[in-house]
Amino acid sequence: MHTNPAAMPVESVPLLIGMKTYEAVIGSNLLATIGARVSALVRGPQCAVVADSNTAALFAASVRQSLEAAGFQPLAITIRPGEKSKSLEQVGALCEQMSAAGFDRTSFVVALGGGVVGDLAGFAAAIYHRGIPYVQVPTTLLAQVDSSIGGKTAVNTPAGKNLLGAVHQPALVVADLDTLRTLPPRELNQGFAEIIKHAIIADPSLLDLLRDFDGRNFAALVRRNIEIKAAIVARDEHDSSGERAILNFGHTVGHAIERACGYGRFLHGEAVSLGMVAACEISRRTAGFADCERQQVLEALESRDLPVRLPAHFPRAKI
């Protein structure tokens, strides 16, 4: 599952969302190229590289060196890992650190990490000086195939997940597949929940690809999922027509599960897996969803060691 994608050509997916055009680049050894890639996209030299302590230890030095070689002045900001860092307190702390360093409207943010870092750093970029550029550098499978695409940024509140946020498209997405080699199996597997979601809502042939997937060709998998999500978001960037809501498949119940257990017992993809199972069961009971199709979804999730039932003592009444 952790095969090195060496000598892999760089692929580019052009994204046109709303009034914003940018690209997602996919390949190997891309962290060393971030400085050069960003140079044509931003105006000022100051940038914040936001990462959690795990990701910072693995990748921050490479990104910093690339930015410095291109003439930028990176400020490293490290946060604690986990969903609990997605808070107003933490986003306020990010903005205060940027302000103390003299950041202005020409500065930019690099979100180096998974979905939590991308959401948090993206939201900070959206509100600092009413919006500065940011670059998504997703280092997890879930972030590469889903959360780094589409411009949704947010923090959680005691009332619910992602209740405070903004739609703020990145200037660039850099999906370095080498980072996937560092993921523990559980973290890698949660990314497949979003891939299975995309298969169900947009491209059933992805399920066939997953059955034959040997852990080598992540490039094709990441690219196809970026294309699927970008196409949906492009038709409904701000969730105003209802088309983008299809991307919430599994998330309504999934978010409730995350909140019910205090953010941390389940990874996001695991909660989405459970949410999709619940949605399929509701559809089977109320809308004629075929039992054989429901079973196909369960088998796809179980093939990636994703949960399909709640633990016996889970506080179901809190969902």
* pLDDT tens profile 224-277: 999 999 999 999 999 999 999 999 999 999 999 988 887 778 999 999 999 999
Which CATH number characterizes residue 86's domain?
Answer: 3.40.50.1970
Please tell me the predicted confidence (pLDDT) of residue 157.
Answer: 93
Query: In percent, how much of the chain has pLDDT > 90?
Result: 87
| Mean pLDDT, range 16-36, rounded to an integer | 96
- 173 and 36 fall within a common domain: yes
Q: Does any domain span residue 5?
A: no
DSSP string, 150-185: S-EEEEEETTEEEEEEEE---SEEEEEGGGGGGS-H
- 126 and 251 fall within a common domain: no
- Rounded CA separation 80/88 (Å): 14
> Could you tell me which of 34, 7, 22, 26 has the C-alpha nearest to residue 223?
26
> Could you tell me which of 193, 190, 209, 211 has the C-alpha nearest to residue 201?
193
Instruction: Name the domain boundary from 181, 204, 231.
Output: 181
Please tell me the predicted confidence (pLDDT) of residue 8.
Answer: 65
Instruction: Name the domain boundary from 166, 181, 196.
Output: 181
Query: In percent, how much of the chain has pLDDT > 70?
Result: 97
Residue 257 lies in domain: 185-318
pLDDT for 59-113, tens place per residue?
999 999 999 999 999 999 999 999 999 999 999 999 999 999 999 999 999 999 9
| Contact predicate 59/112, CB 8 Å | yes
Which CATH number characterizes residue 261's domain?
Answer: 1.20.1090.10
Instruction: Name the domain boundary from 157, 181, 205.
Output: 181
Q: Does any domain span residue 268?
A: yes
* Joined tokens for residue 173: 């997405």
- 166 and 223 fall within a common domain: no
- 176 and 190 fall within a common domain: no
Between the alpha carbon of residue 109 and those of residues 112, 117, 298, the distances in Å are 9, 11, 39
- Rounded CA separation 124/118 (Å): 10
- Rounded CA separation 287/301 (Å): 22
> Could you tell me which of 164, 161, 103 has the C-alpha nearest to residue 134?
103
- The number of domains in the chain is 2
Residue 3 banded pLDDT, cuts 50, 70, 90: very low
Tokens 């990176």 belong to residue: 74
- Rounded CA separation 14/149 (Å): 12
pLDDT for 132-191, tens place per residue?
999 999 999 999 999 999 999 999 998 889 999 999 999 999 999 999 999 999 999 999
| Mean pLDDT, range 195-208, rounded to an integer | 95
- Rounded CA separation 82/86 (Å): 8
- Rounded CA separation 70/72 (Å): 6
pLDDT greater than 60 at residue 58: yes
- Indicate the angle between helix axes 115-127 and 88-100, nearest 10 degrees: 60
Between the alpha carbon of residue 33 and those of residues 62, 65, 68, 72, 314, the distances in Å are 9, 10, 11, 13, 45
Rounded to two decimals, what is the model's pTM? 0.93
- 75 and 201 fall within a common domain: no
In our burial notation (b when 16+ CB lie closer than 10 A, e otherwise), range 195-204 reads: bbbbbbbbbe
pLDDT greater than 80 at residue 6: no
